């Protein structure tokens, strides 16, 4: 439920050009004047978020929400539309094959049967039996697909006999479920019962994965005490339509279980007594994957590893939720959060990151001043900082600094000093910021921490840039760029390039500025760095304004706004509105400029 608004925002093509205090306000503003159909699938898992939907509907008179759910949302004005099964013939209808195939349920069965048995033909000999199968399955597409997948093993008549017997046996399912859902449960149970013992065990264990898994993950989490090879088991479940195969953006092969099947699998896992064991294995696997990825941050393979982490994001969420539910796991939660911070920062999951931190800090044992707590406080503070919530980020950074100092962790102290200096720069404390950066830089030279050393140099450069010392800024940013390039740190290189590009804009070297900024933009887009992409685009919009290309500037600003709304960056939204005000002013529309400047000021105040 905590992610509903974020998910809606990420799937909107654009947002209104006026911001709000919160993501809810931003969505309301974006949807207010739109005629839009918003589809929310499988909402039965998110019923506690129904009031959020009501708030959106209240703000947008032309918004229509279509929610698929096993339960009604119980909202004012809600209309319930039962989803009918596929049309079926009369169960006693003795019609030729071509007439029966006109019914969607029978046609679906024939298509899915041919997918597993290419020689299957719906004929006058088997059509009536197939129709009877579909009637027994109430015309439910999932049930029909599962049954059709068995046609490679059973003739239609045998299939009908087995199916009829199984439905009768499981006819005493939960009475508070609709009949067709009891039938679906029976179909799943029947498919499950057709598995051998190893397949049953594997199927149940696979339910622990959220949004699928790689073959390696399946092996590590589910492969123990199976008498079959994991790949054989997976292929068998794929062939039986209990899994589907997908290819991730990283090129990794994945197996995915439909959510309805996953619910059933988890029931079987709980019944087996293995739920806690498999949850722990799941946690250990994804924690190890996360630790491996963290070693690749700030290096040449970072883009690849961030893509792998993004593909497994739902599994990390599931593992993290498990640590929140387990007594004595507070430090595990904090450590995982710290290691996920890079993914959340780069991909723009700022609000989610901060929410996970708050939940973890409420756990018993989280109050202990450990390195895990300090790392989580420090690393998630970046999300608050990038959302321009400088008071919150400052408080978290200072607490992290205190813990690092008490632990004698000099590397932690140095990185916290840099972070506090970044906040000081943004709030205009230009006297204190350089002192913090120089202190950190002196410590890092003794520690031989190349990455943080490059960061310190770069931030010294940015601090000089903010006070107009372009000579010092240029020198430090070039040093930082060289240091980042030696480390193959994509994020760092893009940061230094963006700073050098800004200097070039300020000195009217617009061709040089464009070259520097476009390289920075390309690097940031390669790793999907949303906040960084928006920042570099902002500098390119500035170039367009300096070139009096107002059309181009407006185009870029609209793209920036889309990203800023997606990542819930209030300060960035205000900046964009101010730039639109500049455009209005240059176009001679003083009234519009005043209104836009006022809107930007209101956004910043909130």
Q: How far apart are CA 163 and CA 178, in angstroms?
A: 19
Which tokens is 372 given? 């895990």
pLDDT band at residue 170 using 50, 70 and 90 as cut-offs: very low
Taking residue 359's Cβ as centre, other Cβ atoms within 10 Å add up to 16
What are residue 471's phi and psi, to 5 degrees? -65, -50
CATH label of the domain that carries residue 205: 1.10.10.10
Taking residue 21's Cβ as centre, other Cβ atoms within 10 Å add up to 12
Q: What is the DSSP letter of 585?
A: H
- The residue among 128, 18, 142 whose CA lies nearest residue 599 is 18
Residue 604 pLDDT more than 90? no
Which segment of 38-47, 126-135, 475-484 scores lowest on mean pLDDT?
38-47
Residue 176 pLDDT more than 70? no
For helices 127-136 and 104-116, angle between their N-to-C axes, nearest 10 degrees: 110
Shared-domain flag, residues 200 and 258: yes
Tally of domains within the chain: 3
Identify whether 162 is part of a domain.
yes
Give the mean model confidence (pLDDT) for residues 72-79: 86
CB 267 within 8 A of CB 308: no
CB 381 within 8 A of CB 353: no
pLDDT top residue among 80 and 532: 532
Identify whether 590 is part of a domain.
no
pLDDT band at residue 16 using 50, 70 and 90 as cut-offs: low
Stretch (H or E) spanning 247? strand 244-247
Which segment of 5-9, 56-60, 101-105, 378-382 scores lowest on mean pLDDT?
5-9
pTM, whole model, 2 decimals? 0.72
Mean pLDDT estimate for the chain: 88
Identify whether 397 is part of a domain.
no
What are residue 43's phi and psi, to 5 degrees? -75, -5
pLDDT band at residue 12 using 50, 70 and 90 as cut-offs: confident
Number of H helices, E strands in the chain: 30, 5
Shared-domain flag, residues 214 and 272: yes
Beta strand 213-214 with 63-67: parallel, antiparallel or unpaired?
Answer: unpaired
pLDDT band at residue 167 using 50, 70 and 90 as cut-offs: very low
- The residue among 109, 100, 104 whose CA lies nearest residue 144 is 109
Q: In what order do the strands lie in the sheet with 253-256?
A: 213-214, 253-256, 244-247
Shared-domain flag, residues 146 and 218: no
Terminal-to-terminal C-alpha distance of the chain: 25
Give the mean model confidence (pLDDT) for residues 294-299: 84
Q: How far apart are CA 19 and CA 14, in angstroms?
A: 13
pLDDT given at position 1:
64
Residue 580 pLDDT more than 60? yes
Which residues form the domain of 239?
195-294
Structural domain ending residue among the three candidates 294, 314, 343: 294
Identify whether 395 is part of a domain.
no
The SS3 of residue 255 is: strand
Stretch (H or E) spanning 199? helix 197-206
Shared-domain flag, residues 209 and 287: yes
Shared-domain flag, residues 161 and 204: no
Shared-domain flag, residues 271 and 202: yes
Q: How far apart are CA 558 and CA 549, in angstroms?
A: 15
Structural domain ending residue among the three candidates 276, 294, 312: 294
Which tokens is 441 given? 């830089």
Which tokens is 262 given? 């996953």
Identify whether 526 is part of a domain.
no
- Residue-wise pLDDT for 353-372, tens only, equals 999 999 999 999 999 999 99
CB 475 within 8 A of CB 461: yes
Shared-domain flag, residues 217 and 162: no
Place of tokens 């790793």: 527
The SS3 of residue 329 is: coil
pLDDT given at position 262:
85
Shared-domain flag, residues 209 and 281: yes
Shared-domain flag, residues 112 and 46: no
Identify whether 221 is part of a domain.
yes
Burial of 174 (0-12, 13-18, 19+ CB in 10 A): exposed
CB 404 within 8 A of CB 412: yes
Stretch (H or E) spanning 66? strand 63-67
Q: How far apart are CA 295 and CA 12, in angstroms?
A: 34
The SS3 of residue 437 is: helix
Q: Give percent of the chain above pLDDT 70.
A: 93
Identify whether 59 is part of a domain.
yes
- Residue-wise pLDDT for 201-221, tens only, equals 999 999 999 999 999 999 999
- Residue-wise pLDDT for 306-329, tens only, equals 999 999 999 999 999 999 998 899
CB 339 within 8 A of CB 360: no
Shared-domain flag, residues 232 and 280: yes
- Residue-wise pLDDT for 44-75, tens only, equals 778 889 999 999 999 999 999 999 876 778 88
Shared-domain flag, residues 114 and 61: no
Structural domain ending residue among the three candidates 167, 186, 212: 167
Q: How far apart are CA 30 and CA 19, in angstroms?
A: 9
Identify whether 601 is part of a domain.
no
Give the mean model confidence (pLDDT) for residues 373-399: 95
Shared-domain flag, residues 133 and 219: no
Residue 244 pLDDT more than 90? no
Q: What is the DSSP letter of 253?
A: E
pLDDT given at position 275:
96
Give the mean model confidence (pLDDT) for residues 402-410: 96
Distances in Å between the alpha carbon of 222 and those of 213, 218, 262? Answer: 11, 5, 15
Give the mean model confidence (pLDDT) for residues 260-274: 89
pLDDT given at position 168:
38
């Amino acid at each position: 439920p905590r992610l509903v608004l974020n998910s809606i925002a990420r799937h909107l093509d654009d947002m209104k050009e006026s911001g709000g205090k919160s993501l809810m306000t931003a969505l309301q503003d974006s949807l207010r004047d739109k005629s839009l159909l918003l589809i929310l699938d499988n909402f039965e898992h998110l019923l506690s978020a129904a009031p959020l939907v009501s708030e959106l509907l209240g703000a947008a008179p032309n918004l229509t929400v279509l929610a698929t759910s096993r339960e009604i949302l119980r909202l004012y004005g809600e209309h319930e539309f039962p989803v009918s099964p596929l049309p079926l013939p009369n169960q006693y209808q003795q019609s030729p094959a071509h007439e029966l195939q006109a019914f969607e349920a029978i046609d679906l069965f024939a298509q899915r049967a041919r997918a597993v048995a290419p020689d299957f033909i719906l004929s006058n000999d088997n059509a009536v039996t197939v129709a009877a199968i579909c009637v027994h399955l109430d015309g439910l597409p999932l049930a029909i697909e599962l049954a059709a997948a068995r046609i490679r093993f059973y003739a239609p008549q045998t299939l009908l006999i087995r199916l009829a017997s199984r439905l009768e046996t499981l006819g005493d399912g939960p009475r508070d479920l609709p009949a067709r859902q009891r039938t679906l449960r029976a179909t799943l149970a029947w498919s499950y019962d057709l598995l051998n013992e190893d397949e049953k065990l594997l199927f149940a264990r696979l339910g622990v994965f959220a949004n699928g898994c790689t073959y390696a993950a399946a092996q590590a989490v589910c492969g123990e005490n199976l008498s079959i090879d994991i790949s054989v088991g997976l292929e068998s479940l794929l062939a039986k339509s209990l899994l589907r195969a997908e290819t991730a953006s990283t090129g990794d092969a994945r197996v995915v279980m439909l959510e309805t099947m996953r619910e059933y699998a988890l029931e079987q896992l709980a019944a087996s007594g293995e739920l806690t064991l498999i949850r722990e294995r799941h946690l250990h696997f994804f924690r190890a994957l996360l630790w491996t990825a963290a070693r690749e941050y700030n290096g040449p393979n970072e883009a690849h590893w961030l893509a792998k982490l993004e593909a497994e994001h739902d599994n990390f969420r599931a593992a993290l939720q498990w640590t929140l539910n387990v007594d004595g796991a507070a430090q595990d939660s904090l450590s995982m959060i710290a290691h996920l911070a890079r993914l959340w920062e780069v991909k723009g999951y700022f609000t989610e990151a901060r929410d996970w931190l708050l939940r973890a800090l409420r756990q018993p044992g989280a109050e202990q001043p450990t390195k895990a707590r300090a790392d989580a406080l420090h690393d998630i503070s970046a999300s608050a900082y990038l959302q321009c919530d400088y008071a919150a980020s400052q408080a978290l950074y200072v607490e992290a600094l205190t813990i690092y100092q008490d632990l004698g962790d000099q590397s932690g102290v140095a990185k916290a000093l840099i972070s506090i200096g970044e906040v000081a720069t943004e709030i205009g404390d230009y006297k204190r910021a350089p002192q913090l950066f120089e202190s950190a830089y002196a410590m890092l030279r003794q520690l031989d921490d190349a990455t943080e050393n490059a960061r310190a140099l770069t931030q010294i450069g940015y601090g000089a840039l903010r006070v107009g010392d372009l000579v010092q800024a240029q020198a430090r940013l070039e040093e930082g760029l060289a240091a980042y390039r030696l480390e193959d740190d994509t994020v760092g290189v893009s940061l230094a390039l963006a700073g050098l590009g800004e200097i070039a804009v300020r000195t009217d070297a617009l061709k040089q500025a464009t070259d520097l900024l476009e390289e920075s933009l390309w690097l940031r887009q390669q790793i999907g760095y949303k906040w960084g992409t928006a920042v570099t685009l902002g500098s390119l919009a500035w170039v367009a304004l300096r070139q009096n290309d107002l059309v181009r500037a407006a185009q870029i600003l609209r793209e920036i706004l889309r990203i800023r709304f997606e990542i819930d960056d209030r300060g960035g939204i205000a900046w964009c509105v101010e730039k639109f005000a500049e455009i209005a002013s240059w176009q001679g529309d003083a009234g519009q400029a005043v209104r836009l400047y006022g809107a930007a000021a209101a956004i910043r105040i909130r």
